[in-house]
Amino acid sequence: MSGARRPLVAGNWKMHKTAAEAVAWCEEIEGILGVPRAEVAVCPPFTAIEAVARALADAPVWVAAQNVNEHEAGAHTGEVSAAMIAAAGARGAVVGHSERRALGETDAVIAARVRRLLDHGLTPILCVGESLAQREAGETEEWLARQVRACLAHVHVEESARVAIAYEPIWAIGTGRTATPETAQAAIAHIRGVVGERLAAGAMRILYGGSVTPENAGELMAQPDVDGALVGGASLDARSFAAIVHAA
């Protein structure tokens, strides 16, 4: 990882943990995390954002939502706005996760969400990644380039450092299959090259996500272009997550 970019390790809990369970996790992580060299974020469900933000108020961990709507307000039943997550204590949000894209979220919608977050002073963690079929067909680079260009379309060059990208090969999410460090490095270096077509690639952090564990985190994050990790299942256990943070 470049010394110019502070690594970011973010834990995405997905649909796990009630507010009470989340607070218990926060109490445990505070006791074992210490003062990490990496920047640390956790992404609880909407219902636990406020409780987690309060519980981590004195900890070196910030809170992000798992998604956000692209509209400022309006008749969007079941949706949550950037202003709402900010008021609850979030400082950013994941957007474009493959599990959300599978439900029909498009690059255009995701680009609008990135812009909305930036307008509210929040950090977007933009997910991109290819399927196994696309990788085997040799389409990885073209697919990643298309996603990155489209989803960052409304970002200005001076905002480059305010955006993080998470490269999550779909075939490695929750499957136990992890990209080799060399595969992750190649994909992320390609993403950085695409970012550099219009934005400040050296300022933007690009993370790896996809079955990250304490056992493989160190080798993955030692790659020159890998600036941290977006951690799924391993983030549900405080000790496991802390070990990944320390590996960064």
Instruction: Give the active site residues.
Output: 97, 168
Give the separation between CA 75 and CA 218, rounded to whole angstroms.
Answer: 45
Terminal-residue alpha carbon distance, the chain: 9
Residue type (1 letter), 200: A
Give the separation between CA 197 and CA 144, rounded to whole angstroms.
Answer: 14
Q: Which residues contact 12 (CB under 8 A, 6 or more apart)?
A: 43, 66, 94, 97, 209, 230, 231, 232, 235
